[in-house]
A = this chain, B = another copy of it.
């Protein structure tokens, strides 16, 4: 991506167009597959800059000045604390007021309104809708519907169905950049050609069948030649064949594993997931020996010194609380990284990422 240093506020629109859209004015964030290497590199840089700028009051106030004239709607029709709060915090960081619909019982739907009409109405009040919904493909369908309105607004998919969770994938890969990417100065430098993931082994562990975060992150990792993926799960919870086909098509090395202890020594990063038994149809999870997919404190002597331990949270027993104090535990950082990368994404959607870049280069560059 060509970020012209002579005018950083004028970012190329090529990548904005790359986001799913049916007209030229509005860009939606729906699928992890939308993001190419160049885009991810750019967004990670912006996120690193936002968090650095936000650290002192004058910088924080600059960030808050960016989107005070916009307003967002958080339409979260599925229980979620962390994703909701992450987007809410990102909006606050950029000074963008927002409102929320989280409970259909307070809405007009009890009067017989369709959900389509509800979203059409909400779109009148705002400049961006961030949505989370139990139905697969919901965000994408809403994006198409809104494109047909006289005043379309962009949609960010905050998770729909068992399917996709693209901003979780962004925060996960951002966390990996921070683990593998060297010091800050290197992370904020333009280096589209540099691939920090080459030679790294990343294990996905647990319920890979039903964890949408694993699917989304795998799509992104396929943009990094030389990375090696381990899918460590019981056979009943194996990663979907469609994902493996995608991995193969992109020439990424992978292997299927059954025992975490057998491979933990090789891992540069381990991405733990909980048993998602809320998707069970007949209690089938009860027969699975999930203990083989636990990461426990007694395994630390097998960890590489720079192992990165990730977890999308919430966790249960698969991730030992005694590991929390280990500096290799990155899952709390992941939470906070999500806030920064979402702020970067929103800045990008409203075309103020250039202003962030400009501010950073003026005040923080050597």
Q: Which residues of A contact B (CB under 8 A)?
A: 54, 56-57, 60-61, 64, 68-69, 71, 73, 76, 79-82, 84-86, 88-89, 92, 97, 99, 101-103, 105-113, 117-118, 120-122, 124-126, 148-151, 274, 278, 313-316, 325, 332, 335-336, 339
Would A92 and B97 count as touching, CB distance under 8 A?
Answer: yes
Q: Residue on B with the closest CB to A325?
A: B148
Contacts of A79 in B (CB 8 A): 105-108, 110-111
Would A112 and B325 count as touching, CB distance under 8 A?
Answer: no
Would B106 and A80 count as touching, CB distance under 8 A?
Answer: yes
Would A108 and B80 count as touching, CB distance under 8 A?
Answer: yes
Contacts of A103 in B (CB 8 A): 106
Contacts of A332 in B (CB 8 A): 120-121, 124, 149-151
* Residue from B81, B122, B151, B336 in contact with A101 in the complex, judged by beta carbons closer than 8 Å: B81
Would B57 and A69 count as touching, CB distance under 8 A?
Answer: yes
Contact (A121, B316) CB under 8 Å given A61-B68, A111-B274: no
Contacts of A149 in B (CB 8 A): 332
Contacts of A125 in B (CB 8 A): 85-86, 88-89, 335-336, 339
Would B85 and A313 count as touching, CB distance under 8 A?
Answer: no
Q: List 28 A-B contacts (CB under 8 A).
A: A54-B69, A56-B69, A60-B69, A61-B69, A64-B68, A73-B85, A79-B106, A79-B108, A80-B108, A81-B106, A81-B107, A81-B118, A84-B106, A85-B99, A85-B125, A86-B125, A88-B99, A92-B99, A102-B106, A103-B106, A111-B314, A113-B313, A113-B316, A117-B313, A118-B314, A124-B339, A149-B332, A151-B336
Would B69 and A108 count as touching, CB distance under 8 A?
Answer: no
Contact (A314, B113) CB under 8 Å given A106-B80, A125-B86: yes
* Residue from B85, B112, B315 in contact with A314 in the complex, judged by beta carbons closer than 8 Å: B112
